[in-house]
Amino acid sequence: MTINLKKVLARAESWSEQDQEELAQVVLEIEARRHGVYHASPDELNAIADIVLRRNLTLISDEIYEAMPGAKAASVHLTDFPAIEAPAIDVVDTIGAGDSFQAALLFALRAIGRIKRVALAQMNAGELGRALSFASACAAVTCGRAGADPPRQSDVGPALSRLLDR
């Protein structure tokens, strides 16, 4: 451990719990960038649990699967919903992939008219599959190039067409 890091950690001991949590999140983000592993925040895990409980779903496993460097694809499997396969790509950089996924998912929900709470609760498996596939395609484009460089419409034209195909 470097002297500078030791000094920062020693000072952080006197910080508020909120500031310590913020520092921990920064460390996790650095670790995710270095290792290609994303750690969901407590809020994200609670949101996933809420969806699973509200829709009476069963997760195939209670473990968090981590996409490691060199992996060509990752997938999400929930029973009662189609498996969503991430596009196979050569990963260049994972910075911004989560942001791209979340932004694309929100875009997709708005595009198919499911962005509002009542409409979201009525979403069917096909709509969810299309929205997640689109978000996955957008994140894959981001991972395929250096830096936090989100996709443009021209990068995801076929995925956008599949999203809007009802």
- Residue 97 CB partners (closer than 8 Å, separation 6+): 38, 139, 142, 143
How many domains are there within the chain? 2
* Residue 88 and residue 141 in one domain: yes
Cα–Cα nearest to 93, from 35, 42, 48, 54: 35
Express each pLDDT in 76-131 by its tens digit: 444 455 567 778 888 898 899 989 999 999 999 999 999 888 888 888 888 888 99
26 lies in the same domain as 3: yes
Q: What's the one-letter identity of residue 36?
A: G
DSSP 132-149: HHHHHHHHHHHHTSSSS-
- 126 and 147 in a single domain? The answer is yes
Same domain? For 59 and 123 the reply is yes
Domain of 88?
Answer: 37-164
Tens digits of per-residue pLDDT, 29-78? Answer: 777 666 655 556 666 666 666 666 666 554 443 333 343 344 334 444 44
Q: How many CA atoms lie within 13 A of 61 on its CB side?
A: 7
Task: State the pTM of this model.
Answer: 0.55
Say yes or no: 144 and 80 in one domain.
yes
